[in-house]
Amino acid sequence: MSARVLIVRIGAMGDVLHGMPAVAGLRAALPGCVIGWAVEPRWASLLQTEDGVGPLVDRVHLVRSKEWGRAPFSGATVRGIQALRRELRAEEYDVCVDLQGSIKSAVIGRLAGAKRFVGPAAPREREARLLYGERVGVTERNVIGQACELVGAGVGASVRAARVELPVEIEAEAWANEVLLGLAARRVSTAALKGFVLIAPTAGWGAKEWGAERFGALATGLMQAGFRVMVNKTAGGVSPVQEEVARISGAEIVESTLPQMIALTRRAALVVGGDTGPVHLAAALGRPVVALFGPTDPARNGPEFVGARVTVLRDAGSLTDHKRREAIDPGLERVRVEEVLAAALAML
């Protein structure tokens, strides 16, 4: 089959990653497909290098939705949307699959003008379903499985989640090697030889964050066990949580671009964090992960990637709540440092 398929999943990081096993499965099931993906520019590095090379998709279409949202009625926004529409329609996609289920993603899908437009029967934003040509009821509980159902319905074939391969950016790989060489030069003891643990203490909203004190104590315990600890930080300024974790433990904050984060994560002995992009990235790359869940349900949102090595910790009393509260989730607060440290050392 040589169908031309467009995937719409414009953000965020973890959500884009959750869609990738289904597209990898599509590539395996129907090797002749031409696959495009509509995504926000900040997440494009998950799909292709700066030179436009990627192992998963043939085309990447940049959706500057955040930029357009800041000035929705400006001439630049109108021109940008028109240019995206022309770009999408020039590809003459046979089918478009909306993996996001929002009004924004559904509008992007309609812009593509594909012969068939498939979306979930119960999307995250109910109004989005009005824009779909075909609505698919999903039965899988985990979002990775749901993506497989949607993509499979779009192409009329059985699609199973497959192992994800991420782009390799040569300069980013060299940067990661330099970071590790620098750590080894500053730490000449045998502790440097045990590898490093990457901690991701922030998340999309406060209720999903375990807290600086706990992460700081965890980092201290890992360092006492002989492991180097780095605190993950994407480019654009350090948050108070990251600063506090570093202050408490003496761990090093490592600021990186997304390609650099991918390269560094490939080398991590372990990644620890909540329901957040860097944790899902590590699982997709097959690195050992300890994932701390609170208001989100790991049965639905957990990093169930093919080949993933994950220990999920969630208090039995946690209640699922997607209201983006800023105060830490009470269930997540009950997850003890000793419990997480034991799980981390077991994974290591």
- Please tell me the predicted confidence (pLDDT) of residue 190: 41
Non-local CB neighbours of 20 within 8 Å, separated by 6+ positions: 46, 56, 164, 284
4-155 carries CATH number 3.40.109.10: no
The 10s digit of each residue's pLDDT in 98-114 is 999 999 999 999 999 99
The 10s digit of each residue's pLDDT in 137-185 is 999 999 999 999 999 999 999 999 999 999 999 999 999 999 988 765 5
In the chain, pLDDT over 90 holds for what percent of residues?
91
CA nearest to 187, candidates 225, 228, 222: 228
Q: Residues, the chain, total?
A: 348
Half-sphere exposure of 199 (CA within 13 A, CB side): 35
CA nearest to 221, candidates 199, 188, 254: 199
* CA gap 288, 310 in Å, rounded: 6
β-strands 270-273, 134-136 pairing: unpaired
Amino acid at 179: V
Non-local CB neighbours of 147 within 8 Å, separated by 6+ positions: 18, 19, 21, 22, 99
Of residues 10 and 322, more confidence is placed in 10
| Site of tokens 């559904």 | 106
- Please tell me the predicted confidence (pLDDT) of residue 194: 75
* CA gap 314, 299 in Å, rounded: 11
**186 pLDDT above the threshold of 70:** no
The 10s digit of each residue's pLDDT in 22-62 is 999 999 999 999 999 999 999 999 999 999 999 999 999 99
**130 pLDDT above the threshold of 90:** yes
Instruction: Output the pTM of the full model.
Output: 0.95
**188 pLDDT above the threshold of 70:** no
The 10s digit of each residue's pLDDT in 269-285 is 999 999 999 999 999 99
In the chain, pLDDT over 70 holds for what percent of residues?
96
Rg (CA), the chain: 21
In degrees to the nearest 10, what's the CA dihedral of 308, 313, 314, 316? 120
State phi, psi for 314 to the nearest 5 degrees: -150, 130
Q: What architecture is domain 170-347?
A: 3-Layer(aba) Sandwich (3.40)
- Which residues of the chain form CATH 3.40.50.2000? 4-155, 170-347
